[in-house]
Copies of this chain bind each other. A is one copy, B any other.
Amino acid sequence: MEETDNMKLYSYFRSSASYRVRIALNVKNLPYDYVPVHLVRDGGEQLKPAYRKVNVDGLVPTLVDGNETVPQSLAIIEYLEETHPEPPLLPKAPADRAYVRSLALQVACEIHPLNNLRVLKYLKHTLCVDDDAKDAWYRHWVEAGFATLEAHLAGDARTGKLCFGDTPTLADTCLIPQVFNAQRFKVDTAKFPTIQRIYDHAMQIDAFARAAPGVQPDTE
């Protein structure tokens, strides 16, 4: 890859957490160099020494900005918000910021950690759970999480075309990849009409479309 002054994003096309950061970078119009880390091939490149030198956690994404290395998608997005405030991904008022963060965390702490690749692998290979039970586990946590998110979004006057008004926020950067992921696992997201409506709208926004798993440099 040619060396540039751009930030570098270590990413996997299908990783929801990477997808969140790709959306944030696009919303903020920040060019970046995409460094693919294949989570499946050869036992997972994220666990190899070469990547552990970048990020000891062995997880994607990692953002490298000059001398700074930032792991964890939400820490990366808050970092981008602080270093490149415009256009903002958080509203101004503390209570509104808390609301947007709480929506994002409902995805990032209550749904996604239970359904990521390493957990599904543990269920299958260590607990010897069959595919039906594994799929039921996946659906259970997504549907429980989406039910409460739907209750928030359907009941809150701040909901617009997106999670908070009509412009993208941290909440959308987390929700949209989770909906994509749920559909991949055959969850009927139409049961959550506000979430579905927000997803359909986001898919028409360039910053989201360009971040989608189907159009990354490492898309298979």
Interface residues, chain A, with chain B CB atoms under 8 Å away: 56-59, 68, 70-72, 74-76, 78-79, 82-83, 94-95, 97-99, 101-102, 105-106, 108-110, 112-114, 119, 122-123, 126-127, 129, 133, 136-137, 140, 148, 151-152, 155
Contact = CB atoms under 8 A, between A and B. Distances in A.
A78 B98 contact: yes
Given A57-B106, A70-B102, A137 B127 contact: yes
Given A68-B98, A82-B97, A83-B94, A58 B148 contact: yes
B148 A72 contact: no
A215 to B, nearest CB: 26
28 contacts: A56-B155, A57-B152, A70-B95, A71-B102, A72-B105, A72-B106, A72-B109, A74-B105, A74-B109, A75-B98, A75-B102, A76-B98, A78-B97, A78-B98, A78-B101, A79-B94, A79-B98, A79-B101, A82-B94, A82-B97, A83-B94, A108-B109, A109-B112, A109-B113, A114-B119, A126-B137, A127-B129, A127-B133
A99 B56 CA distance: 13
A70 B98 CA distance: 7
Contacts of A74: 101, 105, 109
A79 B56 contact: no
B59 A72 contact: no
